[in-house]
Structure 1
Amino acid sequence: MKFKITLFFSLLIIASSSLLAQVSKEKFNFDPNKTEELRVRNGLPNFFKKLKAGEDVKIGYIGGSITNGGLWRTKSIEWLKSEYPKANITQVNAAIGGTGPEYGACRINNHLLIRNPDMVFIEYRVNNGGAYQGRALEGLIPQIWKQNPNADICIVYTISKGMIADIQKGNQTNAGKFMEPVANHYGITSIEFGLEVVKLLNEDKLVFQKGDSPSKGKIVFTNDGTHPVEAGHDIYRDVLVRSLKSIENFGTPGIHKIPKPLKENNFSGASLVPVTQAKFSKNWQNVDLGDETMINDDLTDKNGGTKTLFEKAMKTETIGETFTLKWEGFLLGFTSILEAKGAIKVEVTTDGISKIFDMKSRNGKTQTKYTFLKELKRGVHTTTVKLIKLAPGKVFQVGQFLVVDHQ
């Protein structure tokens, strides 16, 4: 009798393991050129299991400014706390305004994963989630699951004015077309916030941007065409809430298995390398960043600060000064102060091949941002950067390096 019971439970475990394997290997073929409000795929079963059990649940967010200081995040957390009052729900906001998934893949470990989230919302469509044809976005997923194979992931699609025409036709946006294949490949749930916004716009119940048309009696969605005002964030929250409620009992909890990469040279091995790893010539100085070097659990409203881009930094005002970095991967970038076109020029020499590079900003003004060089063949490289032009009153400042490889 004991043998039969043991055999029964052994078969049960094998059957359960087989089910988990089938779930993890299921392939999804949602059309990446079209958009729907909810594509469940493998769902969020681990997340809901912990919520229902009243456990500690830490939710992580990574994306751009719509999430960084966005009320949809705060409002959704408030709803989750009211819906699952026994659970201890906390959050880590690692979104940074004006940054895309190429930078996110490099920093996700430093800013988010070291805090061990149980659930991660990714919001990058407005900030060009299709950067590097989706390879940057893809790089986020394996990093999350290597740190915590039980962490569930959800991609959310926010909307900006230039996306309206596509979404009105039920089409995915140019960036989203590279994000959806990633969601299909890894079984990631995706939620489209934009369809509800466009629906209200078509019903003449919403003005997308203040001043577009008379707004009396209507919802004004944004003031600038991108960042929702509070009423706009209410729409985002409501779409998220109804999507989450519809899938709270869907899926089989278990460990996420990382499949073979969708694309070669994805950003799954991307990392931040401290500026101290480079060898600098004589006339460089350490930059006093003060308290800005401390990264806390909430990056909200720190968009313009150096804290999210520099842990340590070096600067020079002397033409001809250099720094040299030995690195391994296929793409190198660095955080820096960028200026108007032509204000700062450097000569970049990698493995003996030189090219002039303009450290120009995206808006023609001084920006604390990041920039990437040209992709190379994967391997060990040595790069030397030499300052060859500096406008009067400007400074060439660099921070941590962005080294991209795949695992």
Structure 2
Amino acid sequence: MHRIILLLLSVLTALHAAEAFPLRPAVECQERGGLPNVAAKIAAGKPVAIAYFGGSITAANGWRVKSLAWFKQQYPKSEFHEINAAIGGTGSDLGVYRCGHDVLQHKPDLVFVEFAVNDGGADPLQIQRCMEGIVRQTWAADPATDICYVYTLTGGMLGDFKDGHFPRAASVMESLADHYAIPSVHFGVEVSARQRAGTLVFRTSKPSDAERAALGDKLVFVEDDVHPTDAGHDLYTQILTRHLPNLLAGTHQPHALGAPLVADNYEKAKLVPLEQAKLGDGWTRLDAATDPRAKSFGERVPSLWRAGKPGTTLAFRFKGSAVSIYDLLGPDCGQVLISVDGGAPTAMARIDGYCTYHRLASLRIASELPDAVHSVEVRVDQVVPDKAKILFDHNRPDLEKDPAKYAGTNWYVGGIMLIGDLVP
């Protein structure tokens, strides 16, 4: 009965949140407070560190690389340094936990935040909590850091633009941009206008030579409905850089945090090294010099550990309201059993349909907990998930070709994500 009541409350909360965030008018750029502190550094010829914080659209060698080149060409007296904090397939729900490690420890002067696509299916209140947490963490670390929201799009969002509105996630983020006077640029306004005019096409697959020839001089913007082609990234860059001169203005001054928009935002979100928890026998800390996974992901996590033997446990106590594990999904991974506050264990596989390779992921343990002391135990399960059933059809041949690659019950962990603090 208790679980049913909680479920009903969560549904009602989500419905209320959706009603509270009507879609915003589709305006390409809102200057708001601009980027005055970056402008002052550029005017003085000082070095500028620019963080690109987002998902796979930002991780690609596209608008991120091209806009950084624009800064260097436009303002040659300043030295520009890139902080690449983009991870494919991730939204602000992971971003708020990794902000300190991936962004703030590198002391950025400007942070471009791009999560509107990967937050597309998230609850509006959750988006607000996470995005506000990122803002407040950033300005608590350095109130002189400027922030700019950039919004990308998918083919599924074109309908909102046709009606003259932003999609939901960007609309929600605009409420925070208003509250904190953060400038924003939506790349989708011009993209959708060109699509309606017939000069730009969205593709869900790569065109054949004949199809490409039939398109003539039309810009093929994407070939998978999400990720821009190089020409698409050129367009994204043109949209951003035509607004940057106006944004790079104003008087140098620290950003004031003031009162939060959402009282229970995730400003206190943190990523805790795994070694601060209680590790049972069977854990191995991986070395980037000898392990390919540690080499690939070591810069993204405080440290990377592997538990390969069934029965190996991770246990800890914390005071707070939410907890997740920053881990990897991969072909040689198994499943884990999760127990919170002594409750019945829940099984979670650490492989999904995409897993012909390893990638960073977030294992949600619990959220919306009372702000009190809670206990967590996660155990590597002896049961091996049916990987052939889990993999997408087009990835199954990889398992058939190399079954040894998929053997194992490994669990790779990079840290503990908390709204709260570990306690003894």
TM above 0.5: yes
The structural deviation recorded for 1:106 is 1.1
The structural deviation recorded for 1:362 is 5.0
2: CA distance, partners of 1:282 / 1:294: 21
Higher helix share: 2
The structural deviation recorded for 1:183 is 1.1
Tell me which residue corresponds to 2:18.
none
Tell me which residue corresponds to 2:141.
147
1: CA distance, partners of 2:372 / 2:59: 35
Residues 348-371 of structure 1, C-alpha deviations (whole Å, 9 max, x = no match): 123x33441423545363643222
Residues 145-193 of structure 1, C-alpha deviations (whole Å, 9 max, x = no match): 1111111100000111111111222222132232111111111111000
Alignment of 1:80-159 (within 5 A): 80-128=71-119, 130=122, 132-159=126-153
Answer yes or no: is the 8 Å Cα contact 1:284–1:316 preserved in 2: yes
Answer yes or no: is the 8 Å Cα contact 2:201–2:219 preserved in 1: yes
Note closer, same or farther for the CA distance 1:69–1:327 as it changes in structure 2 (3 Å cut).
same
2: CA distance, partners of 1:116 / 1:224: 35
2: CA distance, partners of 1:263 / 1:390: 42
Residues 223-277 of structure 1, C-alpha deviations (whole Å, 9 max, x = no match): 211111111111111111111123333x432110102221133221111111111
Please say which of residues 166-175 and 331-340 is displaced more in the overlay: 331-340
- The ranges of structure 1 where at least 4 consecutive aligned residues each deviate by more than 4 angstroms after the TM superposition are 291-295
Answer yes or no: is the 8 Å Cα contact 2:150–2:187 preserved in 1: yes
Tell me which residue corresponds to 1:363.
353
Please say which of residues 97-106 and 211-220 is displaced more in the overlay: 211-220
1:239 aligns with 2:239: yes
Q: TM-score, normalised by structure 1?
A: 0.82
Tell me which residue corresponds to 1:372.
364
Note closer, same or farther for the CA distance 1:309–1:390 as it changes in structure 2 (3 Å cut).
farther
Residue type at the aligned position of 1:390: V
Tell me which residue corresponds to 1:7.
none
Note closer, same or farther for the CA distance 1:399–1:89 as it changes in structure 2 (3 Å cut).
closer
Note closer, same or farther for the CA distance 1:79–1:281 as it changes in structure 2 (3 Å cut).
closer
1: CA distance, partners of 2:298 / 2:95: 15
Aligned with 1:353: secondary structure? coil
Alignment of 1:37-48 (within 5 A): 37-48=28-39
Output the aligned Cα RMSD. 2.8
Answer yes or no: is the 8 Å Cα contact 1:158–1:194 preserved in 2: yes
Answer yes or no: is the 8 Å Cα contact 1:293–1:310 preserved in 2: no
2: CA distance, partners of 1:242 / 1:164: 22
The structural deviation recorded for 1:282 is 2.5
Residue type at the aligned position of 2:364: F
Note closer, same or farther for the CA distance 1:337–1:227 as it changes in structure 2 (3 Å cut).
same
2: CA distance, partners of 1:168 / 1:276: 51
Note closer, same or farther for the CA distance 1:89–1:398 as it changes in structure 2 (3 Å cut).
closer
Please say which of residues 174-183 and 235-244 is displaced more in the overlay: 174-183
2: CA distance, partners of 1:184 / 1:362: 38
Q: Sequence identity of aligned pairs in percent?
A: 33
Counterpart of 1:189 (choices 183, 189, 211) is 183
1: CA distance, partners of 2:382 / 2:330: 12
2: CA distance, partners of 1:50 / 1:202: 40
Answer yes or no: is the 8 Å Cα contact 1:332–1:402 preserved in 2: yes
2: CA distance, partners of 1:78 / 1:91: 10
Residue type at the aligned position of 2:56: S
1:348 aligns with 2:339: yes
Counterpart of 2:380 (choices 370, 383, 387) is 387
Q: TM-score, normalised by structure 2?
A: 0.79
Note closer, same or farther for the CA distance 1:203–1:125 as it changes in structure 2 (3 Å cut).
same
